[in-house]
Structure 1
């Protein structure tokens, strides 16, 4: 399900059973409560009988390998980011999403889509993942998947016009468009009427495909200049420069369970990262090339190098099996990976199913 990563230290795969179990307990303790764990506590919870001294020797080896570290002068240890990556790739046991949780995810998203639009369902997916993870839920999609209810061309001067895009959710976007020379004023209204008559119930991508398929009919209905205006308006609506839509829900969850001043600073840095939408979009775009779930941990990516955060993301596809977006969760490195990974994967599959007409 997760995309394998190349281990940073080849020797890690050769850890003996005792070292693996001690390492596992340190990681699982960190993921559960964020606290370092020491040799005395480990001696009480390990399934094998080991003295604190023996455990300290193993911990020293694990620390030398770069898997764990001491956050301060206490005897406790925490996993490093390399250690977390090793645990996620080589040791974590990922279960399936339960039937009850599957039904809940599907019901919530279909209800959102039936009440409003597919865009609302994507926002609901982000909210659902936020609630499941207690992190921030994120969705990245293309403008071609956005449902519009109105397109209008508004002339600014002889050479320029605004393309006004009104979405089903009430949001409005304006794009500046260069006009073909000699375009009459009536062509703007004619182009608006032509597009709006075919827009109902369709995404921009579907509208573009339909107009392309009916190109011969359009040539009969519109003159050459108006046809160019329609093409230019569609190109502006889903053009590559503005083709990405980012939805983030649940940032407030990240303020819960803060344990120290350092945690507050880490969250402040993460909020700054989320405000920098272009970099978040760039990072999520890297997950689009994966067949399954991608996991980015801490400084493995430039975006989270300061905040020490993690991203779990999975792509979703349209009815042509083309990847058209990503759903995911952003949160601290001690996310519950074993629970959240299958949830993100299943949510992405539900979104794909909805784009495929429920098949």
Structure 2
């Protein structure tokens, strides 16, 4: 399917203006927009029939949809995504919104939990939406880790820290993982976990992977030089070790020890690679993003949007995020600067505390 940004760049000025006007009218009113309404809003004076033709073209492209046969058009999820990425004009933060946020968060007293509660109240009050606050990630040593499969593309990791703190995080596991493979990964990690933070555990796993790759390279090169095997590359990133004359080798008393060892190393590497991906997905947070409709996998709600922005500590490291959840027809131009400003303010307040 053609990329949405490519569609936008291929549009002529009239189609782009009709599309922008439909989306902006829908975001403001929540109602389908008809051709007669549009003719009164466009800069260019055109007939209602011409506008209907343009809207039909936009509907064919998957950007607009008609909820009823006789109704006007509303933007599809793809249309909203394209509008946000290519046409959204972000407003300056309004003075009254800034004042409300500053008044709620200005007192840098009490514990961090209390401050973050005030963040949620401030965002909800200013935006009239539901707020989301992700607290700073723990960097203390781990005691136990558990992976729980929730769906094919969604899982939960339960982290138990040495101080007794328990933290749950949602993530998308690597493809092909099963509940049993997740339990195996958790058992393997728990055997190594003592005295390590999540970041330290991930770095140690990467060292293990690098060491196994070196062993594989040495063994594979020996087999290639002896004529027992050859590399067959499918592309620049993936290569398979093809073993030649395997039937003859088996006939001479079984698989050579080198081949047995290299196979076990490949299996070990693949398992550790999956575990490393688990850790990376667990540790890394999202950047500044707008999730629209079914993109919002955290909640699996097709009729909602999430505007989220990370906040950082004094070392410019992302330690949490704040956001607003609402219907897909959010006033994105106003919400984005509010969320961004709140995240920056939280980062400054936490840096001042430390």
Distance 1:349 1:83 in 2: 30
Q: Is the 8 A contact 1:288 1:314 kept in 2?
A: no
Match of 2:315 among 302, 311, 320: 320
Distance 1:50 1:285 in 2: 54
Which residue of structure 1 lines up, in the alignment, with residue 26 of structure 2? 30
1:126 to partner: Cα distance: 1.1
SS of 2:305's partner is: strand
Runs of at least 5 residues in structure 2 that lack an aligned partner in the other structure: 145-159, 171-280
Q: Is the 8 A contact 1:298 1:304 kept in 2?
A: no
Structure in which a larger fraction of residues adopt helix:
1
Residue 311, structure 1, aligned to residue 310, structure 2: no
Which residue of structure 2 lines up, in the alignment, with residue 122 of structure 1? 116
Provide closer, same or farther for how the CA distance between residues 50 and 68 of structure 1 changes in structure 2, counting only shifts above 3 A.
same
Deviations 1:129-166 (A, max 9, x none): 11222210110113649xxxxxxxxxxxxxxxxxxxxx
Deviations 1:71-130 (A, max 9, x none): 11223000000000000010011122134432431231123x42x322112111111111
Q: Is the 8 A contact 2:296 2:304 kept in 1?
A: no
TM-score, normalised to structure 1's length?
A: 0.57
Q: Is the 8 A contact 1:143 1:243 kept in 2?
A: no
Distance 2:299 2:161 in 1: 35
Q: Is the 8 A contact 2:294 2:301 kept in 1?
A: yes
Provide closer, same or farther for how the CA distance between residues 139 and 319 of structure 1 changes in structure 2, counting only shifts above 3 A.
same
Q: Say which one has the larger Rg.
A: 2
Distance 1:96 1:88 in 2: 16
Match of 2:91 among 80, 83, 95: 95
TM-score, normalised to structure 2's length?
A: 0.58
Which residue of structure 2 lines up, in the alignment, with residue 237 of structure 1? 164
What RMSD in Å do the two structures reach over aligned CA positions? 3.1
Runs of at least 5 residues in structure 1 that lack an aligned partner in the other structure: 1-5, 146-175, 178-232, 246-283
Which residue of structure 1 lines up, in the alignment, with residue 64 of structure 2? 68
Which residue of structure 2 lines up, in the alignment, with residue 294 of structure 1? 289
Which residue of structure 1 lines up, in the alignment, with residue 345 of structure 2? 350
